[in-house]
Chain A
Amino acid sequence: MTATLLGIGFGFAARCLMLRSDYRQYPAYPHGYVTHLSLGLIAALLGALAVPALLEREFTAVTFLSLAATQFRDIREIERETLSKLDISNLVARGPDYIEGIARVFEARNYLVMLIALLVSGLTYLTNVLAGIIMGAFALLGALRLMRGPVIGQIATVRPGRISFKGPNLFVEDIHFMNLAREEVRRTVLARGLGVVIEPFDDNAREILANNGQRMAIAHDAATQLGIYRDVDTAEFTPILRRDLDTGRIALLILPLEKDMDCLVSAVKNVPVLESSTSRPLKSRAGRGAAD
């Protein structure tokens, strides 16, 4: 009984810790918390019961774990659906790749909770409470570490880039962005716009940055953190990212409400590298050969 309770306690604590709401503001409403906390509690309960049930020769109880896995897969489905629907109302869309990443994380966190509860309750059952608590503490630390994935700042240099016009054509450094006809729009872009150039460190990073979903995530994160100077009827002020075909560099053009270059650079550096955009051409013989 102590083992199970300890397992549930640590599992639930892990879910609470992982539910920290940050600038992504999701979930930021009470009902979102309720949904995820109660599912986390169920996950913890299932995980905590597994080892004691197994040792008490209650084999059928363990099959419930597989039932739980099906349930948690549905969470990803739900998250994806909700976020995709809400994305239409965003001034700067998250993009499908970012949404998929978030949904996947929500699913994985429940498995993590289940695993922590299983480890803690199992160890407590087999040894003693103290060992269980130590195990739980380490598991919580491990879970917090897992929350941090790589960010753009680790795969590329991010530096300010100069915005200029050649006739109606807009450039950030030498990367062409678009053709803007109206004089007033050009003046606004020059006055309010900020340009950032992202230079990949290697070929792996180049492929990550080439991914359109990754670029949408950068635009979305930059816009949420600095505010965006646009409304639904000013499509020309949408932040965009364009690629230099020769070198694989990426440039971002954004019209933030708060024109602060240092904050923009740090916001871009902290954009997570999306799981779905990750590719490693340098791991292949052809990729390595082509790199030099």
Chain B
Amino acid sequence: MKTQISKYILAVVTLDPALVGSGGAPVFVARDRAEQDRIATYLARITEGVVHDLENGVYILVKH
């Protein structure tokens, strides 16, 4: 049987870099909400992930 991690954070898109520490996923810093939305959309389409809102100005992209 093939074993794999099925849910993991692909990327983080944040308005405030201070809210995200270093980790496994790349962090993209956006200048405003519109840019954050746009980056998250592009990344979601490219990686086939889903964008989730942590409600503190940080978006995460998760592979489900």
* A residues neighboring B (CB under 8 Å): 167-168, 178-185, 232-236, 238
Contacts and interface: CB of A to CB of B under 8 A. Distances in A.
Nearest to B33: A183
A168 B53 CA distance: 6
Interface in B32-64: 37, 40-41, 44-46, 48-53, 55, 59, 64
Q: Is the interface of B mostly helix, strand, loop or mixed?
A: mixed
Interface of B: 37, 40-41, 44-46, 48-53, 55, 59, 64
A90 to B, nearest CB: 15
A235 B52 CA distance: 12
A234 B44 CA distance: 8
A102 B49 CA distance: 31
A34 B51 CA distance: 46
B27 to A, nearest CB: 16
Given A232-B48, A233-B45, A179 B53 contact: yes
A235 B37 contact: no
Contacts of B46: 233
Contacts, number: 42
B38 to A, nearest CB: 10
A179 B50 CA distance: 9
16 contacts: A167-B53, A168-B55, A178-B50, A178-B52, A180-B50, A181-B40, A182-B37, A182-B44, A182-B51, A183-B37, A234-B45, A235-B44, A235-B48, A235-B49, A236-B51, A238-B64
A181 B48 contact: no
Given A233-B45, A235-B64, A180 B51 contact: yes
Nearest to B51: A181
B24 to A, nearest CB: 20
A99 to B, nearest CB: 16
A54 B48 CA distance: 62
B45 A181 contact: no
Given A167-B55, A168-B53, A168-B55, A182 B40 contact: yes
A252 B64 CA distance: 18
